[in-house]
Amino acid sequence: MGEPEFRCGFVAVVGRPNVGKSTLVNALVGRKVSIVTSRPQTTRQRVIGVASTDRAQLLFVDTPGMHRREKHALNKLMNRSAQSSLADADVVLVVVEAGRWTEEDEDVLARAQAAGRPVMLLLNKIDRIRPREAVLPMLQEAAARGEFAAVVPISAERGENLARLRELLEAAVPEGPALFPPDQWSNRDERFHIAEVVREKLMRRLRDELPYGLAVEIERLGESEQGRLEVGAVVWVEREAHKAIVIGKGGEMLKAAGQAARLELKARFERPVHLEIWVKVREHWTDREADLKRLGYDGD
């Protein structure tokens, strides 16, 4: 018998906001592909995480959480991005929270099944279920909700059952050559990931005070003669009042977020980092097509 054929395929990871999609993609890839916070809709743009082995290359498409309310043009683009990922996928992972099923979960599942791709239903956060024996009836109930290639209980945060999930996915994607070099782990460039790190640190510190219309743009990225990474970032908000919140009393909020971002970037790039952050106001940018496009929110 000959060697098994190499396999490669796109795996769309969909679900309502805050079910752990980005945590799952990061765990499966083994790198920080997407930022993670406790806030819903942290992921705003489609990001591909690349996981390569000698047998297969799995291209995990982390998508914005699908949601019903489309209050701004940004929300519409986020939903469009998630929907288009279904059409391009070889396999769809529908992520739900174990022990909790909502109408939004039902909507996501219906969209995934309508795409005509193999669907695996993942019950995430099983580490929070007590007693653990309660997981079995949850799996039985979930399996009755439709036709699935598999129903898999997982904990993305703790890595439970992810090895089994990888095996199922490697068998499910089609035969074909790798689409990315084996050492590449994301389809996004450095500017994107740097901006996301800054946004993550702000989101984690602002918490309930977080303005919805907050975005980060990297205006300057270079290297000093001494090899230091030079970064100039702009935080965009929609109101002057939001600017004051982001900066914080005496500039403390922005300073703390900037320090946390700089430390993470220093570890990631393994070199000193000089990070400057400015906060600017652009009213109604979440509804302006030109602003959305400039900031990379194009629905793709």
Boundary of a domain, candidates 117, 137, 172: 172
Q: Quick check: 1 pLDDT over 70?
A: no
Kindly report, residue by residue over 162-171, the tens digit of the pLDDT: 999 999 999 9
Cα torsion 47, 15, 209, 284 to 10°: value is 60
Residue 180 lies in a domain: no
Residue 135 lies in a domain: yes
Query: Residue 222: its pLDDT value, please?
Result: 98
- Rounded Cα distance between 152 and 142, Å, is 10
Domain carrying residue 64: 7-172
Give the number of other CB atoms < 10 A from CB of residue 176.
14
Residues 195, 157 within the same domain: no
Flag the least confident range among 9-18, 20-29, 202-211, 235-244. Answer: 202-211
Query: Residue 82: its pLDDT value, please?
Result: 76
Residues 163, 252 within the same domain: no
Kindly report, residue by residue over 93-103, the tens digit of the pLDDT: 999 999 999 99
Q: Provide the token pair at 290.
A: 């030109």
Residues 145, 269 within the same domain: no
Residues 36, 157 within the same domain: yes
Query: Residue 299: its pLDDT value, please?
Result: 60
Query: Residue 70: its pLDDT value, please?
Result: 65
Q: Quick check: 156 pLDDT over 60?
A: yes
Output the average pLDDT for the chain: 93
Residues 163, 15 within the same domain: yes
Beginning with the edge strand found earlier in the chain, give each strand of the sheet holding 229-237 in spatial order.
Answer: 215-223, 229-237, 273-281
Kindly report, residue by residue over 18-50, the tens digit of the pLDDT: 899 999 999 999 999 999 988 887 888 889 999
Residues 111, 257 within the same domain: no
**Three-state SS at 138:** helix
Residues 203, 246 within the same domain: yes
Contact 292, 298 (CB under 8 A): yes
**Three-state SS at 254:** helix
Q: Any idea what the CATH number is for the domain that residue 98 is in?
A: 3.40.50.300
Residues 105, 158 within the same domain: yes
Q: Quick check: 80 pLDDT over 90?
A: no
Phi, psi (degrees; rounded to nearest 5) at 119: -115, 130
Give the number of other CB atoms < 10 A from CB of residue 10.
19
Residues 151, 276 within the same domain: no
Residue 184 lies in a domain: no
Flag the least confident range among 64-68, 124-128, 287-291. Answer: 64-68
Query: Residue 89: its pLDDT value, please?
Result: 96
Flag the least confident range among 12-21, 64-73, 100-109, 177-186. Answer: 64-73
Residues 156, 35 within the same domain: yes
Residue 12 lies in a domain: yes
Residues 123, 238 within the same domain: no
Flag the least confident range among 30-39, 69-78, 95-104, 111-120. Answer: 69-78
Q: Looking at the 3D structure of the chain, how many domains does it have?
A: 2
- Rounded Cα distance between 86 and 111, Å, is 8
Q: Which residue has the tokens 């199922």?
A: 168
Query: Residue 30: its pLDDT value, please?
Result: 97
Residues 12, 102 within the same domain: yes
Q: What is the mean pLDDT of residues 134-144?
A: 95
Residue 268 lies in a domain: yes
Q: Provide the token pair at 158.
A: 């703790």
Q: Quick check: 8 pLDDT over 80?
A: yes
